[in-house]
Amino acid sequence: MRGKEKGLVGLMKKRDEMPNFTSFHCIIHQEALVSKLRNHAFQNVMQVVVHVVNYIVSRPLNHRQFRQLIEDYETEYSDLVLHNAVRWLSRGRVLERFLSLLPEISTFLDSKG
């Protein structure tokens, strides 16, 4: 299917209606490789995020207080997501949720001193 001349990609590139046809081979695999290449800079960010999330979630009192705070603020989410180091896709979910709740996280951490 991916032959340069007779595969789907080759045939689509030859068509006049699609002069700018672009193909991607296993985009998820490519994203995984890029995340490993840029892992050093990204790892620093993830360490901070995981540390903050663990601080909030690992202590039952903090966790209850934080959930109450985000409930009072009527946010889109009702809790934080824990990072699973095995699955790189979970990083995106953790960061998305963290950034969405960043004002509430900041308020909570300020209240804790």
Digit-by-digit pLDDT tens for the chain (113 residues) are 556 667 777 777 777 777 777 776 676 766 666 666 666 777 788 889 989 999 999 999 999 999 999 999 999 998 988 776 546 667 788 888 999 999 999 999 999 98
Measure the CA–CA gap between 51 and 67, rounded to whole angstroms: 17
Residues in contact with 80: Cβ distance below 8 Å, sequence separation at least 6, in sequence order? 53, 56, 57, 66, 97, 98, 101
Measure the CA–CA gap between 56 and 60, rounded to whole angstroms: 8
pLDDT at 17: 77
Radius of gyration of the chain (CA): 21
Element (H or E) spanning 27, and its range? Answer: helix 27-37
pLDDT at 86: 47
Q: Say if pTM beats, i.e. exceeds, 0.85.
A: no
Contact between residue 13 and residue 5 where contact means Cβ atoms under 8 Å apart: no
Residues in contact with 104: Cβ distance below 8 Å, sequence separation at least 6, in sequence order? 66, 69, 70, 73, 75
HSE value, Cβ hemisphere, 13 Å, CA-based, for 94: 21
